């Protein structure tokens, strides 16, 4: 069963590639920042902000909004770009990324931008923060959902597993975690640096319901979120298999692009590639 119409999928796929273009433009302008992971998560962020989340860009502090916690704060360019496209602030402001005085810092700051739920940077902290929010929401009998986005590299951090144990023990079914399983980190492939597999088995052992999806298949991801909503006796983690640098062949699966921004000439080439890809998406759905 699909929870999303074909026309909506096409709309979201096109929007995701527009967001990828904004990511390239803002990182090239900033001259620093994290490219590969931001591009790789564009489909998932698009699905959240344009289909899944219960939120209001015109009222970002709305008490009944769903909470989206970004644990791996270094991929904040994709969140900023998606929020701008969703109407939280002008798209033109994306060009201020990492500038002095900008609301759009290299890691998100809660006090600077409405609806940024947490200040993140130290890897491994987000799941504990999300757990506290979900636990508090249950105590207050709020019908909100809490989503925590994490990288696969930060599964190497011990505090992730302390939080996973707490969430599993308390059966926080109002919390859904999403792991960006792109297999890279700043200094190599995760399984070479510090292996994290078998990831599914580990979370199941901590009393989580586990779903694995193609992180670039928006329909599959949306269906997984809907399945998570139907699981009442335990939390859910979605392991989303993604391609770092998705949409730009030169970048895909190359860990050197983890924290490397595009230069001017590269940016022009990459933008052309993404625009061509959008044309193909439109053609495939016609």
Stated pTM of the model = 0.96
Assigned CATH for 6-284:
3.40.50.970
Checking if the pLDDT of 1 tops 70, the result is no
Distances (CA, A) of 94 to 30, 101, 183, 271, 275: 10, 13, 28, 16, 19
State yes or no: pLDDT of 2 exceeds 80. Answer: no
pLDDT (tens digit per residue) in 211-241 = 999 999 999 999 999 999 999 999 999 999 9
pLDDT in tens, 99-153: 999 999 999 999 999 889 999 878 999 999 999 999 999 999 999 999 999 999 9
What digits encode the pLDDT tens for the residues 248-273? 999 999 999 999 999 999 999 999 99
For residue 42, the model assigns a pLDDT of 98
Q: Quick one: pLDDT band at residue 281, thresholds 50, 70, 90?
A: confident
DSSP string, 257-286: GTT-PPPHHHHHHHHHHHHHHHHHHHHHT-
Task: Give the tens place of pLDDT for each residue, 55-81.
Answer: 999 999 999 999 999 999 999 999 999
Distances (CA, A) of 262 to 248, 265, 269: 11, 8, 10
pLDDT in tens, 140-192: 999 999 999 999 999 999 999 999 999 999 999 999 999 999 999 999 999 99
The domain locations on the chain are 6-284
Q: What is the pLDDT of residue 121?
A: 79
Mean pLDDT of 75-94: 98
- CA atoms of 274 and 278, how far apart (whole Å): 6
Alpha-carbon distance of 257 to 150, in angstroms, equals 18
């Amino acid at each position: 069963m699909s929870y999303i119409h074909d026309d909506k999928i096409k709309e979201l796929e096109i929007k995701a590639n527009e967001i990828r273009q904004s990511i390239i433009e803002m990182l090239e302008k900033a001259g620093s920042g994290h490219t590969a992971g931001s591009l790789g998560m564009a489909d998932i962020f698009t699905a959240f902000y344009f289909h899944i989340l219960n939120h209001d860009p015109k009222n970002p502090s709305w008490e009944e909004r769903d909470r989206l916690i970004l644990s791996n704060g270094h991929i904040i360019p994709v969140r900023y770009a998606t929020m701008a496209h969703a109407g939280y602030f002008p798209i033109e402001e994306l060009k201020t990324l990492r500038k002095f005085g900008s609301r759009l810092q290299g890691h998100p700051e809660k006090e600077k931008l409405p609806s940024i739920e947490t200040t993140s940077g130290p890897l491994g902290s987000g799941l504990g923060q999300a757990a506290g929010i979900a636990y508090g929401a249950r105590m207050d009998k709020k019908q909100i959902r809490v989503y925590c986005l994490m990288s696969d590299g930060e599964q190497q951090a011990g505090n992730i597993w302390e939080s996973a144990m707490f969430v599993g023990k308390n059966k926080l079914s109002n919390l859904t975690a999403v792991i960006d399983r792109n297999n890279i980190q700043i200094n190599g492939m995760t399984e070479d640096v510090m292996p994290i597999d078998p990831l599914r088995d580990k979370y199941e052992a901590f009393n989580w319901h586990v779903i694995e999806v193609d992180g670039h298949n928006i329909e599959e991801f949306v269906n997984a979120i809907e399945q998570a909503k139907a699981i009442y006796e335990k939390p859910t983690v979605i392991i989303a298999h993604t391609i770092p640098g998705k949409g730009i062949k030169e970048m895909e699966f190359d860990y050197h692009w983890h924290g490397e921004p595009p230069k001017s000439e590269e940016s022009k080439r990459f933008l052309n590639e993404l625009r061509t890809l959008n044309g193909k998406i439109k053609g495939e759905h016609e």
